[in-house]
Amino acid sequence: MSAPRVVRVSESQWRAFAMLRLRALEDTLGGDDSQYRHEVTFTAAQWRRRLREHAQFALLVDDRMVGLIGAQRETLDSVYLYSLWLEPAVRHRGLAHHLLEAAVTWARDERVKAVTLRVNTGNDAARSVYEGLGFAVDPAAARRRDGEVTMRLVVS
């Protein structure tokens, strides 16, 4: 197995990204989920637009995309991270931090003050990864009804 690396996905890679994103949605939410059913109908133009409007990062192992995370400018001062996912075969190997580090580095380059994300309160593995990178539960953010909390990392 080659060393894992993270790349920012370009518009020219939209097909590979679309396949990865749909695998992630199906694995996480199931093929009957409304989000999956919506995105499976995306056109090439819609996938390219997503790659233009949001920073999408993919984890490559042996030159194959096996993980992803999205980042979008939430405000002038903050970036929101979403959809961290790894294929089941590569989980529990400490690879998620590579994706998070790439997204946080991008946010720093964007000169924001904070990076936020949401996580299920019961997802101890994910929370541990986030906390290891300095994220903390944002006490100013109300706990969501869906069982998620907002975590925040101050970057400047």
Q: What are the residue ranges spanned by the domains of the chain?
A: 5-154
Q: Domain 5-154, CATH 3.40.630.30 — does that match? A: yes
- pLDDT tens digits in sequence order for the chain, 156 residues long: 678 999 999 999 999 999 999 999 999 999 999 999 999 999 999 999 999 999 999 999 999 999 999 999 999 999 999 999 999 999 999 999 999 999 999 999 999 999 999 998 888 888 999 999 999 999 877 666 678 899 999 998
Name the residue among 75, 16, 90, 78 with its Cα closest to residue 51: 16
Q: Which residue pairs from 69-78 have beta carbons closer than 8 angstroms and sit at least 24 positions apart in sequence?
A: 69/99, 69/100, 69/102, 69/103, 71/103, 71/106, 71/107, 73/110, 73/112, 74/116, 76/112, 77/112, 77/113, 77/114, 78/112, 78/113, 78/114, 78/115, 78/116
